[in-house]
């Protein structure tokens, strides 16, 4: 689920928490993994921290950087921050968007991402070149 960024920015945290809890609850009922997408590109460090805390409080399994359709994808700083919040709570981080090479993927993993969202995952795994000309292998 994508966090309600407008409500988060408006500091209507009880609404955001209830929203996340509703989705996480359905996921748990059906044995599905829950991921809360915080759209880090749109938020300040403190807003990212608050969104992550709400996701953890709701019982989400993963905190995800972005949908990949915002102004940018995952940054190293985002992943490092999310990992510093998620890992002590026993939660995981998914870095998504902007991961174009094996080196990018490796760096995100080193910084704490347990999962990656990339449109070139097969190419990265096979050491090929992406359609837009990026050389995938490190």
**What's the order of all strands across the beta sheet hosting 92-96?**
35-37, 62-64, 92-96, 113-117
Q: Which of 50, 64, 91, 92 is catalytic?
A: 64
Q: DSSP letters along 46-103, please?
A: HHHHHHHHHHHHHT-SEEE---S-SS----HHHHHHHHHHHGGGT-EEEEES---SHH
> Any catalytic annotation for residue 94?
yes
Q: Which of 35, 50, 91, 94 is catalytic?
A: 94
> Any catalytic annotation for residue 35?
no
Active-site positions read 64, 94
């Amino acid at each position: 689920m994508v966090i309600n960024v407008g409500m988060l920015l408006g500091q209507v945290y009880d609404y955001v928490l209830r929203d996340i809890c509703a989705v996480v609850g359905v996921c748990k009922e059906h044995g599905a993994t829950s991921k809360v997408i915080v759209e880090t590109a749109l938020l300040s460090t403190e807003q990212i921290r608050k969104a992550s805390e709400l996701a953890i409080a709701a019982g989400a399994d993963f905190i995800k950087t972005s949908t990949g359709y915002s102004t940018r994808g995952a940054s190293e700083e985002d992943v490092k921050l999310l990992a510093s919040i998620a890992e002590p709570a026993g939660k995981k981080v998914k870095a998504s968007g902007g991961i174009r090479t094996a080196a990018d993927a490796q760096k995100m993993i080193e910084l704490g991402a347990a999962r990656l969202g990339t449109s070139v995952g097969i190419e990265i795994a096979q050491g090929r070149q992406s359609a837009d000309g990026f050389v995938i292998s490190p």
